[in-house]
Amino acid sequence: MALSTSRTLLRSFASLSPFARCSNSTSYGDSLWSSEPRAIFKGGSYFLAQRKLSSTSVLSLGSIEGAFPSLLQEWKLGFPSLSRALYCSTADFKKNELLELQEVEKVLSDVRADNVKVIPVQKHCAWADFMVIATGRSTWHVKNIAQALIYKVKQKQKGAQRLMLPSVEGQEGGKWIVIDSGKVVVHALDEKARDYYSLESLWTTGTSEKEPIQDLEKALVKIRRKNNSKKQAKKSA
Amino acid sequence: MAATFASKCSRVGRSLWGGLGNNLSGLLSASHETACNHFLSQQRTFIQMRTVLKVVDNSGAKKVMCIQALKGKKGARLGDTIIASVKEAYPNGKVKKGKVVYGVVVRAAMQRGRCDGSEVKFDDNAVVLVDKQGQPIGTRVFGPVPHELRQKKHVKILSLAGHIA
């Protein structure tokens, strides 16, 4: 099903190509491939493209056309490409992330978030490169951190045809807000939530250590059982 | 001459046996195939009311029964939220038996198509308990979880999970 939709897409794109090529190709191409967190999968971007086709009249296609034939080739080979392969194949044109690490750090220091920790998780996770954890002093502060990051993204994309916003979760609760912008995932928690979930221990120690080691050590130690009986101990004469 | 006669005999013999063999093997393969097909292509469906799911976080519940699938007329699939009632729980946990909770389906026996044409399915139905705002009740998620959660905006569960399928 995915194959047929992509072929129809290709045909429609080809028909639009002559005048689309003259328009500037940076913003739309980048937004389509690199920064949309939902479009990790090859086909995900196709479906996005399908929806956008209906809404816009002018498409900037320079970067997309370069990527389509390579993906078609991959399909002909018969191997579905993983998300990482997609990133590798589209690495020839510049990738503008929604949020860069330095920008995130700057925004967090502006908002005065406490205890900002950056954890590189390239080795553990295939879906993100950096996890940034920040604490807010109250729910309002946490919401403010999220708002500030989104504002930064909007500022960065000023003047672009369409705004590519990172996905935000937990906005109405205010206890734990996650801002997912592709490579960088920002977690804004309040103090209680940070202690409760302890995300650093998850990502710094490793992926498969679920049981803490201290319990194991305790389990192996022989403890003399407490004698709470009221019976007086028989004294052997 | 003897050689040719022998070869003719052998050819005939082979053809006879070939014919018989073909019939037998055909029958066998047909029956085997149908049995295999029926066995391997068991049709798995949605998660609906009365479906018992396993809980894969450390919130204290063990088994949970779906009472409502929040989206979808036929039922919930991988990545959807359900309302469930706790049927079995650990003695000291955050949730007790009989509590009505929300949950996010993280593993489903029904296959879910991915955008690149592949399908993903798991061996069991598993759920992670969440509250109404989407905050996970437990602090760790066990077992593999699929990528689909990212698209469905359950990045919190993904970040608590150890292994991502």
Contact B150 A38 (CB under 8 A): yes
Q: What is the pLDDT of residue A220?
A: 66
Residue of A nearest to B155 (CA): A178
For range A139-153, the mean pLDDT: 89
Question: Using a CB-CB distance cutoff of 8 angstroms, which residues of chain B are in contact with residue A131?
Answer: 159
Residue of B nearest to A204 (CA): B162
Contacts 24+ apart (CB under 8 A), A85-88: A86/A33, A86/A40, A86/A41, A86/A42, A87/A34
What is the crossing angle of helices A139-156 and A101-111, to 10°?
Answer: 140
This prediction has a pTM of 0.60
Question: Using a CB-CB distance cutoff of 8 angstroms, which residues of chain B are in contact with residue A43?
Answer: 114-117
Interface predicted TM-score (ipTM) over 0.85: no
Contact B150 A127 (CB under 8 A): yes
Helices (H), strands (E): how many in chain A? 10, 5
Task: State the nearest Cα–Cα gap between A54 and chain B, in angstroms.
Answer: 20
Min mean pLDDT across A31-35, A155-159, A162-166, B29-33 is at A31-35
Task: State the nearest Cα–Cα gap between B142 and chain A, in angstroms.
Answer: 8
Task: State the nearest Cα–Cα gap between B6 and chain A, in angstroms.
Answer: 49
CB proximity under 8 Å: B 111-140 to A: 113-118, 133-135, 139-140
Distances (CA, A) of A218 to A61, A213, B93: 63, 9, 21
Does residue A159 register a pLDDT over 60?
yes
> pLDDT (tens digit, 0 to 9) for every residue of chain B, 165 residues total?
554 454 454 454 455 554 454 555 555 455 555 555 666 778 889 999 999 999 999 999 999 999 999 998 999 999 999 999 999 999 999 999 999 999 999 999 999 999 999 999 999 999 999 999 889 999 999 999 998 999 899 999 999 988 887
Task: State the nearest Cα–Cα gap between B153 and chain A, in angstroms.
Answer: 7
pLDDT digits (tens, 9 = 90+) for A215-224: 556 666 777 8
Residues B68 and B49 sit within 8 Å (Cβ to Cβ): yes
For range A27-48, the mean pLDDT: 39
Q: Nearest 5°: CA angle at A125, between A124 and A129?
A: 105
Residue of A nearest to B58 (CA): A210
Return the higher-pLDDT residue of A115 and A43: A115
Q: What is the pLDDT of residue B91?
A: 93
Contact A176 B156 (CB under 8 A): yes
Does residue A132 register a pLDDT over 80?
yes
d(CA B127, CA B12): 64
Q: Does B151 touch chain A (CB under 8 A)?
A: yes
Question: Using a CB-CB distance cutoff of 8 angstroms, which residues of chain B are in contact with residue A80?
Answer: 114, 116-118
Q: What is the pLDDT of residue B46?
A: 93
Look at the alpha carbons of A187, A190, A194, A196 in this order and tell me if their dihedral is positive or negative: negative
pLDDT digits (tens, 9 = 90+) for A222-237: 778 888 888 877 666 5
Return the higher-pLDDT residue of B40 and A116: A116
3-state secondary structure of A122: coil
Return the higher-pLDDT residue of A78 and B77: B77
| Residue written as token pair 């309040």 | A190
**A-B Cβ pairs (cutoff 8 Å, strict):** 83
d(CA B80, CA B127): 10
